[in-house]
Structure 1
Amino acid sequence: MKKIFKYSILILSISILSCESYLDVESFDKVSDDNVIFDKASSETAVRGAYRSLASLNYSSGFQNTILQSGGDVRSLNNAQTDLNIINYDLRSDIGFLSTYWANFYNTINRANHVIQKVPSVNDLKLTTELRNQLLGEAYFIRAFSYFDLARVYGGVQLFLTPTTIAADKLGVPRSSQAEVYAQVIADLNLAESLLPSTVVRNRATKFTAYALKARVHLYQNKFAEAEIDVNNVLANSGYKLIKPFNLAAGTTESVLEFSYSVNDINSGYSLWNTSNRSLEPKAVLHNLLNDPTVGGGRKILSVKNAAGQFIGGIYPTNISTAYAIRTAELYLIRAEARARKTSPDLTGALSDLNIVRERSGLVNSTAVTKEEILLAIENERRVEFALEPDRWFDLVRTGRAKTVLNITNPDKYIFPIPAGERLADPSLSQNPSY
């Protein structure tokens, strides 16, 4: 994957509301690529490498580009054939970026697996039980994050829970179903939750980060009561709350998990929106929604019109802007949807959560009344709240709304094809239907 994308080493700047000693580690720009784990320092380095991989590979500009275009509100300025494949929902298994994403996810998973396997047996008095547990919890979280994205992109995938060192280690392993992968994600998050500290840290996993990702996964599993409980566990902490007016700012209570960058390690997503050769722009319909004071409110800063009349996405104002993996606003909207969809709906609670997000953006309360109206209002709120983040495609697929909104008549197209190169290397790896 490094032959295709040349990414710098991720610097995860520390933004904390706690001064726990376990964060007293050397700079995050010192990361080794090897998997030798034998003492406290190498254990910490291995975890940093896994974080770097999660941010620079899993959350790459290419991945964001593909998912954003799939969501229908953003258009490519390149007019490449692969862009046409994306927007026509006609992907081919031999398209190069599909192999890149697949490899990137598994690279991150393998890094996490090395930590999970090797850190428990490290014999170093400096590696305290508290720190050992934290590092293992972070590795379980990173593996869960990666498998969740793999499953929602490709459907059922192979589960590797131990490190692979040679290609043969991966051969002949059958694909697990998407439901089985989601179940493994929850299992990993439960382990992470039991090991991680109860602190507020924006750029590393804690118990609250694990709760937040569990809420997202439970929503995909239609386990709405569980998702509500997960969100309650996070929002009970005052370290997570919305700030008025709307503003995406690093290290604030609006952020649950973020990826940070520097002049030596730029955010590759910046090039999608802001350079002279930018790749993407918001479509007119999205720009108009964001700039409608009754819909976008303060979120109008996400799409502005330049002197040439072009729409410029404002998600990454600079090339060192933070990328947000989980935001507090998402938790409110997850809980709103969970409350509306659970067996005994709590429509009052759902509206309350929806209106908290709306009020933060300078909007009046929603006029939705019925369950169906409230769910549509939540869908529309997510559309503008996460307008330039890779969410809408997944939202429309998981709610069964992709056919109506995107006019995708073949539900097989809701997941991407297994890369041809992977199947060539391992003939036992089956293809998704219709590809």
Structure 2
Amino acid sequence: MKKLLLNILCFVLFTMIVACKKTLNALPENAKVDANTILDQRTAEVALRGAYYLFSAIPASGRNITYWTNHEWLPGYYAGYIAGTPDGPEEENRYVDGFSRSAVWDESYGTINAANGIINRIPLLPDAAFTDDRKNGILGEALFLRAYSHFRILSYYGEWFKYESPYGILVRNELSNLDNIAKARTSVKESYDFIISDLDKSISTAPIQNPNYYATRWAAMALKMRVLMSRGQAGDYAAVISLADQIIQNSPYQLEANPRDIFRTKGLSSSEVILGVRPQPNQQNDVFNISISYSSFTAQVSVGHYATKRLYDLFRSDDPRKNWVVGAPLNVVARPNAYFFTKYITPNTTPTVASETSYAFRLSEIYLLKAEAISRSRGDLNAAKTILKNSMQRAGATDFSMVDNANSYEAFELQLFYEISRSLIAEDGQEWMALLRLPFITVKQLKPTITNMSQYILPIPAQEFLTNPTIGEQNPGYSKM
């Protein structure tokens, strides 16, 4: 990366509101996010690229590569489908003992702060400083990034599953400075209200068309579907169905005939990708790239994340994904029930741009969330089953007996969870969130290491209580450490 400049480093470290970390790099010179540098369309675009730089988690990698692995493998660890080398407490839902307590927090608040610099500044600039409707477009993209990051924090650090809970998130809507760093967390209801307000504004202002590694109105609509599925209040499921129909009927996205093509060859050229993360130039040749951690025992980095027996067993014998999402056994004595995770790359092959690409939203998820919303609103179960079976059939499955025999909404939702996991495993955490939307008794059966609902979320990082002592209480079940 470019030479780190001291003044930029201090700015980034402060605005991310974290202690100095060895793995954290400063923004490159062409991606500053200081609101005072936003003067016109050109400088606003530079600031927006800086926000995407943080969204892509490039600083967390310590190198000039994207680092969306926290979106890919971390939720897979929690759900029990992916494990690490060496094995760690994340797979057992012992977050206090793990290494990931602050990863999502730091990454998300860094993006939020960058987005705030844009959101607070853009309305102050004259319309004449922008061409066409780009002033609104930049604002809409920044609102999406802020909403996405706040919702990610709510999903991992707030009691999102208890609407009346006081344990929401720390909402930040201003560029952080010494005057506003001290702030209390909001309730869950207030957290949802803020996120949805941002999304409604993003839906009305973000570009309809954009390269699919930048946000659009369609991406904002897809994110709102996720938020409403988690909130689950009156009218939310009907709104999810309506949003899904708008995306399916009016957007430019089309399902791929063979999902395997997305991950192995097409990447962001796939017509199914609503929002993805574009790898950095030449990332596929970096010795510490993303795909090599899934694929090789012989390179300088041995396999870091592998598929568990639970993921292997999730695919029935008639499902071709059993042979390309999950690969051969590792054949390691210490891990007798471990398999290569091969969704992105075949073991011991050369990484490619496609294998280094990550995915936030695909059209497949829109269909599956629509099916779940139909079921949870106690709608037409046969219509929901048709969506589920179409998803399985497109992947090559031929046996739909388990779906056909799911004659209650609860039984169907379990089968749908299995398909969400099969289809969206290691993309952006939907296998984990779908698991937690099931009844608690079912969650405990599927993931026996979860014995208390406090394990649905992580503890707020200890550093936050030092830098912001007014934040409030630690999450239930945890100490301030």
TM class by shorter chain equals 0.7 to 0.9
Mark the CA change 1:326 to 1:283 in structure 2 (over 3 Å): closer, same or farther: same
Contact 2:71 2:426 in 1 (8 A): no
- Match among 91, 95, 108 for residue 91 of structure 1: 95
Counterpart of 1:285 in structure 2 is 310
Counterpart of 2:293 in structure 1 is 272
Counterpart of 1:230 in structure 2 is 243
State the shift of 1:61 in Å.
2.2
Mark the CA change 1:126 to 1:300 in structure 2 (over 3 Å): closer, same or farther: farther
Counterpart of 1:312 in structure 2 is 340
Counterpart of 1:125 in structure 2 is 128
Between the two proteins, the alignment pairs up a number of residues equal to 407
Output the CA distance in 1 between the equivalents of 2:148 and 2:253: 20
**1:232 maps to amino acid:** D
State the shift of 1:369 in Å.
3.4
State the shift of 1:110 in Å.
0.6
Larger displacement relative to structure 2 (134-143 or 385-394): 385-394
State the shift of 1:263 in Å.
3.8
Larger displacement relative to structure 2 (268-277 or 347-356): 268-277
Determine if the alignment matches structure 1 residue 243 to structure 2 residue 284. no
Output the CA distance in 2 between the equivalents of 1:301 and 1:336: 25
**1:311 maps to amino acid:** Y
Contact 2:112 2:146 in 1 (8 A): yes
Unaligned runs of 5+ in 2: 1-17, 61-66, 159-167, 333-337, 346-350
State the shift of 1:66 in Å.
2.8
**2:309 maps to amino acid:** A
State the shift of 1:371 in Å.
2.0
Counterpart of 2:146 in structure 1 is 143
Output the CA distance in 2 between the equivalents of 1:324 and 1:391: 11
Q: Can you list the C-alpha shifts for 1:119-172, whole angstroms capped at 9, x where unaligned?
A: 122247351250000000000000000001000100021111111133x5221x
Counterpart of 1:157 in structure 2 is 169
Counterpart of 1:370 in structure 2 is 408
- Match among 173, 179, 186 for residue 176 of structure 1: 186
Tell me the SS of whatever aligns to 2:133: helix
Tell me the SS of whatever aligns to 1:98: coil
Mark the CA change 1:301 to 1:111 in structure 2 (over 3 Å): closer, same or farther: same
Q: Can you list the C-alpha shifts for 1:158-195, whole angstroms capped at 9, x where unaligned?
A: 111111133x5221x11112332122111101000111
User: Identical aligned pairs, as a percentage?
Assistant: 27
State the shift of 1:31 in Å.
2.9
State the shift of 1:231 in Å.
0.7
Mark the CA change 1:9 to 1:360 in structure 2 (over 3 Å): closer, same or farther: farther
Contact 1:76 1:279 in 2 (8 A): yes
Contact 1:68 1:393 in 2 (8 A): yes
**How much is the aligned-residue C-alpha RMSD, in angstroms?**
2.6
In the superposition, the TM-score normalised over structure 1's length comes to: 0.86
Counterpart of 1:196 in structure 2 is 206
Output the CA distance in 2 between the equivalents of 1:200 and 1:356: 29
Counterpart of 1:73 in structure 2 is 81
Output the CA distance in 1 between the equivalents of 2:149 and 2:330: 40
Counterpart of 2:41 in structure 1 is 40
Counterparts of 1:13-52 in structure 2, within 5 Å, are: 30-32=30-32, 34-35=34-35, 36-52=37-53
Contact 1:200 1:239 in 2 (8 A): no
Counterpart of 2:461 in structure 1 is 419
In the superposition, the TM-score normalised over structure 2's length comes to: 0.78
Output the CA distance in 2 between the equivalents of 1:54 and 1:211: 18
State the shift of 1:374 in Å.
1.8
Mark the CA change 1:257 to 1:224 in structure 2 (over 3 Å): closer, same or farther: same
Mark the CA change 1:95 to 1:111 in structure 2 (over 3 Å): closer, same or farther: same
Larger displacement relative to structure 2 (225-234 or 265-274): 265-274
Counterpart of 1:382 in structure 2 is 420
Output the CA distance in 1 between the equivalents of 2:367 and 2:78: 25
Counterpart of 2:447 in structure 1 is 406
- Match among 358, 364, 367 for residue 332 of structure 1: 367
Mark the CA change 1:7 to 1:233 in structure 2 (over 3 Å): closer, same or farther: farther
Counterpart of 1:187 in structure 2 is 197
Contact 2:257 2:394 in 1 (8 A): yes
Contact 1:61 1:268 in 2 (8 A): no
Contact 1:65 1:272 in 2 (8 A): no
Output the CA distance in 1 between the equivalents of 2:170 and 2:437: 21
Output the CA distance in 2 between the equivalents of 1:71 and 1:373: 19
Unaligned runs of 5+ in 1: 11-28
Contact 2:312 2:322 in 1 (8 A): no
Contact 1:95 1:419 in 2 (8 A): no
Larger displacement relative to structure 2 (407-416 or 298-307): 298-307
